[in-house]
Amino acid sequence: MKLTFALILALQVSVCVWAQEWPQPDKELVEEYEGLKAVFFKRIVNAWEKTKAALQPTIEGSPTGDQAKQILEELSKRPRVESAIKIIGGLASDMEPMVDKARMALLGAYGHYLRPHIGEYLDRAITNIKPVLDTVLPHEG
């Protein structure tokens, strides 16, 4: 009985913490975040394309690369793999609103509680690391 009461109390407290209203992020902060996120994804895609282009000639000529290509083709034809991909895609699309809400809550909490204290330092750090990232991991092809 005591364990059940403690569990119910713990669940109630956790629900109350997540049910509270989080501060809304500033429009400027959201735009800055979206811009940084877009550039980050461009950097990742560009790095992937360059890596793929560099490795493709090596993989095409080797017997191991041909064998790996055949295995991947066979796996992609299996019904279980196709259904797993559809399920994962459906879960991702269903989770998207929840992830956006959590992201906005975290941006709001950052903007309200942390940005006045560390925002300038974080902005300066991002500005200082951009030239290094442009050299190592450029976002433009």
d(CA 34, CA 82): 32
Nearby residues of 109 by Cβ (< 8 Å), 6 or more positions away: 22, 23
pTM over 0.85: no
pLDDT digits (tens, 9 = 90+) for 117-133: 999 999 999 999 999 99
Say whether pLDDT at 79 is over 60. yes
Say whether pLDDT at 108 is over 70. yes
Per-residue pLDDT, averaged over 83-101, amounts to 87
Structure tokens at 133: 């990232």
pLDDT digits (tens, 9 = 90+) for 16-54: 555 568 889 999 999 999 999 999 999 999 998 998 888
Q: Of residues 60 and 23, which shows the higher confidence score?
A: 23
d(CA 141, CA 52): 14
For the chain, what are the domain ranges?
50-93, 94-140
Residue 19 is predicted with a pLDDT of 58
Residue 15 is predicted with a pLDDT of 55
